[in-house]
Amino acid sequence: MLLKVNNIDTYYGLSHILQGVSLEVKEKEIVTLVGRNGAGKTTTLKSILGLAQVRAGSIEFDGQDISRLPTHQVILRGISYVPEERRIIPGLSVRENIKLALLKSHNREREEEMIERVAQYFPVLKERLNQDGTSLSGGEQQMLAIARALVTDPKVMLIDEPTEGLMPLLVESIAEIVLEINRSGVTVLLVEQNIEMALSISHRAYVIDEGRIQTSGLSQDILADEEIQRRYLSV
C-alpha cells in the first residue's frame, strides 16, 4: 500500500471534523473521495499533508509513518498537492510559478527539463511562460496548479476539485490529463464534486459524509448505486 490513512481524528480548534477516517491508496491507482459540501474531503487531504491537526490515528506513506512530519517534509517524500483554491501567485509569471514549486522539491536544478514536461501536458502554458499567472483563464490557471504539482516528481498527487467552475469541455480535458498523469506512473487521490467524471476515471472510491467514511468500493459500483447517490451525494 502506498498511502494509508488509519483511523484519523482531525480538528480545527475545538471543532472535531474527521471522526475515524481510514482509507488506502495502492501504487498506480486513481482513488476518488466524494461527498457533499462540508463532508470533510479537503480536510482529509490537508490531514495527509500536515496542514490540519490530526490528533489521533496515523498516516503511512511508503511504509513510513508521516503523521507528525511538517508539510515541506511530506512534499519532499513525494506527495504533491493541487489545492482547491489553486493559489496562483499574483505578480509571478507562469515560469516563476513553476520555479517556485521546483525550489520546494529535489528538482531545483532541472528547470528547463521540467518546463518541457509541462509543455507536453499543457502546450498552452508553454506559450504563456512569461505571462502573469493570474492573467490566465480559469482553466489555464487550473492547468498551472496541476503543472506545479507535477514538476516535483511526486509519487502521489492529491488533487482537490480540479474541475470546479470549469466548462464541460475543459472538465473533459482535465479528466484526460489526470488519466495521462496516472498512466505515466503517478498515483492519484482525487477529490471531486463532479461525481460522474471522478467515478468514471478512478478505480476505487470512498464516500465521506459528516467526517466519516460511509462506504467504499469499485468506482463503477458506487456510480451504479442509486441508494448511495441519494443518501450521501445528492444535494
Ligand X SMILES: Nc1ncnc2c1ncn2[C@@H]1O[C@H](COP(=O)(O)OP(=O)(O)OP(=O)(O)O)[C@@H](O)[C@H]1O
Contacts with Mg ion by CB under 5 A lie at: 41-42
Is the Cβ of residue 12 or residue 120 nearer to Mg ion in the bound state? 12
Query: Closest separation between CB of residue 86 and ligand X, Å?
Result: 13
The Cα-based distances of 196 to 42, 171, 192, 229 in angstroms read 19, 11, 9, 11
Query: Closest separation between CB of residue 81 and Mg ion, Å?
Result: 13
Taking residue 2's Cβ as centre, other Cβ atoms within 10 Å add up to: 19
Is the Cβ of residue 4 or residue 41 nearer to Mg ion in the bound state? 41
Query: Closest separation between CB of residue 11 and ligand X, Å?
Result: 9
Which partner in ligand X, Mg ion, none is near 40 (CB below 5 to 8 A by kind)?
Answer: ligand X
Which partner in Mg ion, ligand X, none is near 194 (CB below 5 to 8 A by kind)?
Answer: none
Which partner in Mg ion, ligand X, none is near 115 (CB below 5 to 8 A by kind)?
Answer: none
Is the Cβ of residue 36 or residue 155 nearer to ligand X in the bound state? 36
Structural contact between residues 77 and 86, judged by C-beta atoms closer than 8 angstroms = no
Structural contact between residues 20 and 8, judged by C-beta atoms closer than 8 angstroms = yes
Is the Cβ of residue 21 or residue 178 nearer to ligand X in the bound state? 21
Is the Cβ of residue 40 or residue 78 nearer to ligand X in the bound state? 40
Q: Is 120 exposed, middle or buried (0-12, 13-18, 19+ CB in 10 A)?
A: exposed
Structural contact between residues 49 and 81, judged by C-beta atoms closer than 8 angstroms = yes
Query: Closest separation between CB of residue 169 and ligand X, Å?
Result: 23
Decide: helix, strand or coil at residue 233. helix
Query: Closest separation between CB of residue 33 and ligand X, Å?
Result: 8
| Pairing of β 53-61 and β 156-160 | unpaired
Is the Cβ of residue 55 or residue 108 nearer to ligand X in the bound state? 55
Residues in the site for ligand X, rule: CB under 6 A? Answer: 12, 15, 17, 35, 37-43, 84, 193
Which partner in Mg ion, ligand X, none is near 39 (CB below 5 to 8 A by kind)?
Answer: ligand X
158 Cβ contact partners less than 8 Å away, ≥ 6 residues apart: 45, 48, 49, 79, 80, 81, 82, 189, 191
Which partner in Mg ion, ligand X, none is near 10 (CB below 5 to 8 A by kind)?
Answer: none
Query: Closest separation between CB of residue 178 and ligand X, Å?
Result: 18
Structural contact between residues 191 and 32, judged by C-beta atoms closer than 8 angstroms = yes
CA proximity to 171, closest of 130, 218, 138: 138
